[in-house]
Chains A and B, each alone.
Chain A
């Protein structure tokens, strides 16, 4: 029987880790992840969680410890944000390459510079090709559910790849709302004890892990990782079905709102989905055929599903919460455009919500308004559209140095 609690996203993540019986925690605090590290340590101290808590000196060590611990046959966990994840970059590849299915909570926060404590997706988007599964949550309930699903998916014998559950800093991590938290028995019934089924550390069966590999084998080992991620599309629907049956809540690979027969669809990711849906609902009442698609599983990217949904949509806007500097479109845009390669579709790359800027319903209405201009031929939509940019962007913080007027320009 579940408990109905008021929780924020960080606490929902902690409850999932506790109920999934993590045995080793190694974490280094960073805003907005700190409450996760603090609550887990409190649970270990007061005996609510039977686990070893390793205090580490950096995120690099946090993930290194988690990998080492999990290789001994225990569920290990950590969580981080922003520059903490960037510092883990090297070690992310160790986890995925050694096929250690660690599940890590990521509280999305902008990367430097300028410094920001607040939400955007550049931290996780920068790690999109690290061989990790990436799931983006929309609500506090989904933070909990995604964590539970992620353990099953990552540890599946055909997948054996680590997973990040990505939650928007503050907009989910510090937002309190109602969440249903299952009992320990219910979770135990869904998630069996951890069993390593690939590389592991055992005195009875010693083996090399992460040793130097010549070119005669490296390529094949990388291909094994690709196959592991390829299996997600077969494995995940069954896990989602079992989750629905046991807990009564539908889980998504992608989530649609009014996409069928739509003239314009806005593709979203993370907590922005609700505001986009609300804006679309308002426009639908005015007779405008708009829809919203949410990408939940970003890695491995569900190309077939997205391609099928968007096949006949004339205008597709993709709203990234990261800039994708120097690319034709930001990361989510690039994937969506590749997935739905209909030559008659107009794709618009949109960027918004950087560094904690709120993607309000009004901002979403502006995004749809621009898509409508593209649909009606008033705008070509070819240039990247920054939907919540202020007009004074060109003069903000620019100084006249050494007689060079606006030297950055």
Chain B
């Protein structure tokens, strides 16, 4: 079982990012996945998160993720807004940031951490600063979900055909993600 927590801001497509990865793993890779969004009083710009579980077997629990193996951060500013992205993590937890460089607060930590500028890539490809499809592509670099499965999930969920703008963004993030 692989547990993932995705943080970001309302409007960035955090919940959809979880759905893309769940769809890619469960439908395209024919395994099991579950995503439970933690909704607040929904509004744009407020911190939100979603819990994602990937497993080879059906998932029985219907609860949030408390000890993530992976933490994806779609907007580093959630940390300044009082969100503890390290909650429930340990040294083995892997971090993926939507950022042009590794955030300062990761210095001195032993965790593996990756980054890609998904917002800049989204602005270029989809002309909007919504980094969710890009970060879904970036997650494929963790080699749990194939990039092809992510493309198919994006095409299905966004009714996009072939090499559409979201698929392009996902590919660019997949190719540019770096370990910091």
Contacts and interface: CB of A to CB of B under 8 A. Distances in A.
A175 B34 contact: yes
Contacts of B34: 175-177
Nearest to B64: A358
A6 B19 contact: yes
Given A5-B27, A6-B27, A171-B36, A176 B22 contact: yes
Contact of B62 (A5, A171, A178, A362): A171
Interface stretch (A70-78, A270-278, A370-378): A270-278
A168 B36 CA distance: 12
Contacts of B19: 6, 176
Interface in A115-143: 117, 138-139
Contacts of B26: 6, 177-178
Contacts of A64: none
Q: Which of A5, A358, A359 is packed against the most chain B CB atoms within 10 Å?
A: A358
B30 to A, nearest CB: 8
B116 interface: no
Contacts of A301: none
Interface string B117-139: 00000000000000000000000
Nearest to B19: A176
Contacts of A272: 62
A209 B58 CA distance: 47
Interface in A330-373: 358-362
A117 B62 contact: no
Interface string A174-201: 1111100000000000000000000000
Contacts of A117: 39, 41
A178 B64 contact: no
A277 B39 CA distance: 25
A362 B67 CA distance: 11
A328 B13 CA distance: 45
A5 B61 CA distance: 19
Interface residues of B, number: 23
B158 interface: no
A278 B61 contact: yes
A361 B61 contact: yes
B66 interface: yes
B37 A178 contact: no
B159 interface: no
Contacts of A285: none
B32 A6 contact: no
Contacts of A170: 36-37, 39
A175 B35 contact: yes
A177 B62 CA distance: 10
Contact of B35 (A172, A176, A278): A176
A178 B57 CA distance: 11
Contacts of A138: 62
Contact of A271 (B22, B27, B62): B62
Given A5-B27, A6-B26, A6-B27, A174 B64 contact: no
A4 interface: yes
Contact of A6 (B22, B58, B63, B66): B22
B64 A360 contact: yes
A277 B18 CA distance: 25
A283 to B, nearest CB: 15
B27 A361 contact: no
Given A4-B27, A6-B23, A362-B66, A278 B60 contact: yes
A138 B22 CA distance: 19
A377 B36 CA distance: 39
Interface in B73-130: none
B62 A6 contact: no
Given A6-B23, A117-B39, A274-B60, A178 B32 contact: yes
Given A4-B27, A117-B39, 18 more contacts: A6-B22, A138-B62, A172-B62, A174-B36, A175-B34, A175-B36, A175-B62, A176-B22, A176-B33, A176-B35, A177-B33, A177-B35, A177-B59, A274-B61, A274-B63, A278-B60, A278-B61, A359-B63
Interface of A: 4-6, 117, 138-139, 168, 170-172, 174-178, 271-275, 277-278, 358-362
* Nearest 4 pairs of A and B residues by beta carbon: A274-B60, A271-B62, A274-B61, A177-B34
Interface of B: 18-19, 22-23, 26-27, 30, 32-37, 39, 41, 58-64, 66
9 contacts: A117-B41, A176-B19, A177-B34, A177-B59, A178-B33, A274-B59, A274-B60, A275-B63, A361-B63
